[in-house]
Structure 1
Amino acid sequence: MSEKAAQTKQAPETLDRVQRFVNTRNRMRGYDHLESSKEARRWLEESGYSPVDSVGDTELARLRELREGLRDILLSHNLGTSLEVTKASSRLNDLVSTTGLGVSFDSAGRPLLCSPFTGTEKAVEDMLIAAIRAGYEGTWQRLKACANKECQWIFYDASKNRSGSWCVMEICGSRVKMRSYRERHSGTPRDAS
């Protein structure tokens, strides 16, 4: 995805944190900022989760589980509910049950979800808090994974009717539509992408 396209489909504040987190894996360009403990630590620190002394195997697996569970759910915002969403919801519910999320009150007396942790666990809980907040604000369904199964880049659908399917129509939309056209005209069974 180009920088310009990324900026035009950027989620609003708070939800952009989830967007950036899930996009730590880029299928089209072949990189993963959570591929190793060292890369995960660097990404967390660059994202303001410090001090992060180390990211162990357990923390790395937890971050990846959260990321891919969120991706499955965000894909459903585009393609509808599926068995993967049910599985992802179950995995995420298990993950949520092990957090230390709490409630506090701000100076105006409003209740807020909060994380008592730092580092990796704070990052996990911040993603969950952002998702909950977006659900109440009505923006959660607008955060979607690209319908191109080879991409699945997370984008924010700001269209009036919430009908966006592609991170970039000119790239992913065109590729999928061209692939579909070729398959229809070649007699090859159509792949659901």
Structure 2
Amino acid sequence: MRTNAPELGADFLVAFLNTLDVEDGTDRLADDAGFAAWAGEHGVQPGDRAETLGVREALRAIVDGEEASLPPVGLTTSCGEHAVELRARTAAEAAVASSVVLSIQGKLRRVKLCGGEDCRWAFYDESRNGSRQWCSMEICGNRQKARTYRAKREG
């Protein structure tokens, strides 16, 4: 399966999910100007912002292992020589297309949200056994281990 957007796949999906920065309390899609700028940086049209926010919310839940209803988006397909193309024009379509491609490849489970409650940054788990829990062991992993240690000492 080929896609017509240059960055579709894990990198695009992780970047899309990280338009919401829980730790900093910022949202690149919060207003039309930020949304248009982000979409332009990633080679897609912005599309409908409300639809895109709904897709992001659903995909963040899905990669976090929760059930979610994904809003319908308009993807188109076409057939070429020895290939099927998945066409995504907007940010929401590209995020859903990336998820579909990763699902088919069996790799969507490797897109995760950081286990740090104050972080929740999306990352692609490249560990051999797919067991990585934090976006950064040095930062979020150490924070969580310190919290667990303190809780055991106090408890």
Q: Per the shorter chain, which TM-score range?
A: 0.7 to 0.9
Q: Which letter maps to 2:12?
A: R
Unaligned runs of 5+ in 1: 1-11, 77-84, 188-193
- Aligned-pair distance for 1:155? 0.8
Which TM-score applies when normalising by structure 1?
0.71
Question: Counterpart of 1:102?
Answer: 76
* Residue 32 of structure 2, aligned match among 19, 22, 37: 37
Question: Counterpart of 1:180?
Answer: 148
Aligned 1:5-154 pairs, distance under 5 A: 14-50=9-45, 59-76=48-65, 85-86=66-67, 88=68, 90=69, 92=70, 95-96=71-72, 99-106=73-80, 108-115=81-88, 118=89, 122-154=90-122
Cα deviation 1:9-30 (Å, max 9, x = unaligned)? xxx9622111101001112223
- Aligned-pair distance for 1:49? 2.1
- Aligned-pair distance for 1:112? 2.5
Which TM-score applies when normalising by structure 2?
0.86
- Aligned-pair distance for 1:110? 1.7
Aligned-partner Cα distance in 2 for 1:176–1:71: 21
Question: Counterpart of 1:80?
Answer: none
Aligned-partner Cα distance in 1 for 2:29–2:93: 17
Cα deviation 1:164-185 (Å, max 9, x = unaligned)? 0000011101111111211222
- Taking only aligned residues, the RMSD between alpha carbons, in angstroms, comes to 1.9
Aligned-partner Cα distance in 1 for 2:141–2:98: 28
Give the helix-richer structure, 1 or 2. Answer: 1
- Aligned-pair distance for 1:109? 3.3
Q: Percent identity?
A: 34
Q: Which letter maps to 1:30?
A: G
Give the strand-richer structure, 1 or 2. Answer: 2
Q: Which letter maps to 2:52?
A: L
Asked if 2 retains the 8 angstrom alpha-carbon contact of 1:75 and 1:152, the reply is: no
Q: Which letter maps to 2:85?
A: L
Q: Which letter maps to 1:61?
A: A
Aligned-partner Cα distance in 2 for 1:182–1:23: 30
Question: Counterpart of 2:4?
Answer: none
Instruction: Report runs of 4+ in structure 1 exceeding 3 Å deviation.
Output: none
Unaligned runs of 5+ in 2: 1-6
**Which structure carries more relative contact order (alpha carbon 8 Å, separation 6+)?**
2
